[in-house]
């Protein structure tokens, strides 16, 4: 381990939070601690309990955070700005010119303040992009592409991206958007896919699963996880309405996020007999739940290629289930499904095409099962060990490049 330089990771979410972002960052921090001292500045309650011993690595520093309900848009906007300000002062207080500051785009305000603090201290900088802004806000319909807010964020991105030492992205659809910004060099970009958070292996359909009730013989179409501003729950509800006459198809929906309020409101109006909405499934029941469906759906809004990461895709592949992704064909999720023949890609916000794909999958269950078996095999390509090794490599490259520049300046 190199004790001469630290890595400071600034993130809102970190274990013991159980969100996908928190779990990934916990694994990344633990891995990077092999090579250097890692200091995690987290806004997750009780995260600092994970390192009660000051000699531990990573070391956790918890800052206060206001967390309004996701439906409270104005309050959440104020909260993410407040968090960004607190993170700025926390990083400014701790960073030195020998350190690497690693930040994530959750919430989107965080990188601007955290990496500004890093630059003021002369530290190297690394950004992990999960969701790209302002494009995510535009896709959600929250701002217009030519609005002052969008132009302001793009201006800030231009300054941010070209000043970074390295940028990590999850999918192949992101670099074309980043490289549109002037001054961003391709060698700064590193593609490191996410990985399944559950054991990889094909699971047979269990007719006795409680999640397949009340009729286990039906073809079960699932939707799960966080539905954010970049997702379109209305597309799934409308597809279910179009498939009401298909007696052998049933929808099983469970999750959280702002999209679930919209979904529940739609369901309250439609009251579709072929739809069951479940409470969010606990983590220890996730594998059983994901294994219960014959087919899973990921419904995006328009124009999300390169904007929103397909994290849930890897868990769905890991249990051996085919997926229908509603998105542009150049999105990372669509590219994976198309290259591996393990699902369907349909246009975003097009319930007619989504219903068609579901009907096709239900009518040839054997072919759908074969796609699922291939999916489990494909999931093996996205193992944690390979991804985490890439994170170590990127951080070490940033460290070596910084040391090389210093050596040249002193000679």
User: Does residue 46 have a pLDDT over 80?
Assistant: yes
**How high is the pLDDT of residue 70?**
65
Handedness of CA 63, 68, 69, 72 (dihedral sign): negative
Give the three-state DSSP class for 52: coil
User: Does residue 35 have a pLDDT over 70?
Assistant: yes
- Give the mean pLDDT of 47-59: 71
Instruction: Give the confidence band of 149 by pLDDT, cuts at 50, 70, 90.
Output: very high
User: Lowest-pLDDT range, 193-202, 277-286, 359-368?
Assistant: 277-286
pLDDT digits (tens, 9 = 90+) for 104-114: 998 899 999 99
Find the helix or strand (DSSP H, E) in which 372 lies: helix 365-379
CB atoms within 10 A of CB 78: 13
User: Lowest-pLDDT range, 48-57, 86-95, 364-373?
Assistant: 48-57
- Give the mean pLDDT of 232-239: 94
- Give the mean pLDDT of 267-276: 89
- Give the mean pLDDT of 262-278: 88
Spatial neighbors of 277 by CB under 8 A, at least 6 apart, are 253, 254, 263, 264, 267
Angle between helices 311-318 and 20-32 (to 10 degrees): 90
Cα 300 to chain center, whole Å?
Answer: 13
User: Does residue 305 have a pLDDT over 70?
Assistant: yes
Give the three-state DSSP class for 129: strand
Residues paired with 9 in a beta bridge: 40, 102
> Contact 188/164 with Cβ under 8 angstroms?
yes
Residues paired with 220 in a beta bridge: 250
> Contact 358/249 with Cβ under 8 angstroms?
yes
Instruction: Give the confidence band of 84 by pLDDT, cuts at 50, 70, 90.
Output: very high
pLDDT digits (tens, 9 = 90+) for 204-226: 999 899 999 778 899 999 999 88
pTM of the model: 0.91
Identify the structural domains of the chain with CATH numbers, from first to last. 2-195+383-410 (3.40.50.2000), 210-379 (3.40.50.2000)
Cα–Cα distance for residue pair 194/309, rounded to 1 Å: 9
**How high is the pLDDT of residue 50?**
57
User: Does residue 391 have a pLDDT over 80?
Assistant: yes
Q: Of 91, 135, 90, 83, whose CA–CA distance to 107 is shortest? A: 83
pLDDT digits (tens, 9 = 90+) for 320-343: 999 999 999 999 999 999 999 999
267 vs 337, higher pLDDT:
337
Instruction: Give the confidence band of 228 by pLDDT, cuts at 50, 70, 90.
Output: confident
DSSP, residue by residue, 194-252:
---SS--------TT-GGGTT-TTSEEEEEEEE--TTB-HHHHHHHHHHTTT-TTEEEE
**How high is the pLDDT of residue 262?**
85
Angle between helices 73-94 and 110-120 (to 10 degrees): 20
Cα–Cα distance for residue pair 217/213, rounded to 1 Å: 9
Instruction: Give the confidence band of 372 by pLDDT, cuts at 50, 70, 90.
Output: very high
Find the helix or strand (DSSP H, E) in which 326 lies: strand 323-326
User: Does residue 191 have a pLDDT over 90?
Assistant: yes
């Amino acid at each position: 381990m190199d004790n001469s330089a630290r890595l400071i990771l600034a993130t809102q979410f970190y274990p013991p939070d159980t969100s996908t972002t928190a779990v990934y960052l916990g694994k990344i921090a633990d891995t990077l601690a092999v090579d250097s001292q890692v200091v995690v500045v987290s806004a997750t309650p009780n995260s600092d309990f994970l390192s009660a011993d000051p000699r531990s690595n990573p070391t956790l520093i918890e800052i206060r955070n206001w967390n309004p309900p996701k439906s409270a848009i104005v309050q959440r906007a104020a909260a993410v700005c407040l968090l960004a300000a607190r993170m700025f002062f926390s990083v400014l207080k701790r960073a030195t010119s020998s350190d690497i500051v690693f930040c994530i785009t959750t919430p989107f305000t965080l990188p601007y303040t955290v990496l500004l603090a890093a630059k003021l201290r002369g530290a190297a900088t690394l950004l992990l992009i999960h969701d790209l802004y302002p494009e995510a806000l535009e896709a959600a319909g929250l701002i217009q592409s030519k609005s002052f807010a969008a132009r302001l964020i793009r201006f800030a991105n231009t300054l941010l991206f070209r000043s970074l030492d390295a940028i990590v992205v999850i999918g192949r659809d992101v670099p074309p958007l980043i490289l549109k910004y002037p001054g961003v060099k391709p060698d700064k970009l590193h593609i490191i896919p996410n990985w399944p958070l559950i054991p990889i292996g094909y699971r047979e359909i269990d007719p006795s699963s409680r999640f397949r009730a009340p009729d286990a013989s039906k073809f079960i179409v699932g939707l799960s996880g966080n539905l954010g501003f970049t997702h379109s729950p209305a597309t799934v509800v409308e597809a279910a309405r179009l498939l009401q006459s298909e007696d052998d198809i049933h929808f099983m929906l469970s999750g959280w996020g702002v999209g679930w309020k919209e979904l529940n409101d739609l369901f309250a109006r439609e009251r579709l007999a072929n739809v069951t909405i479940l409470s969010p499934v606990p983590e220890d029941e996730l594998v059983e739940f994901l294994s219960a469906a014959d087919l899973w759906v990921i419904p995006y809004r328009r124009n999300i290629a390169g904007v929103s990461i397909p994290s849930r895709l890897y868990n769905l592949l890991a249990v051996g289930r085919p997926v229908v992704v509603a998105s542009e064909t150049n999105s990372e999720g669509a590219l994976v499904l198309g290259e591996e023949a393990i699902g369907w890609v349909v246009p975003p916000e097009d319930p007619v095409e989504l219903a068609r794909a579901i009907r096709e999958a239900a009518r040839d269950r054997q072919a759908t099962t074969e796609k699922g078996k291939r999916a489990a095999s494909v999931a093996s390509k996205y193992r944690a060990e390979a991804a985490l090794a890439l994170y170590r490599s990127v951080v070490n490259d940033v460290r070596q490049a910084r040391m090389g520049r210093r050596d040249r300046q002193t000679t």
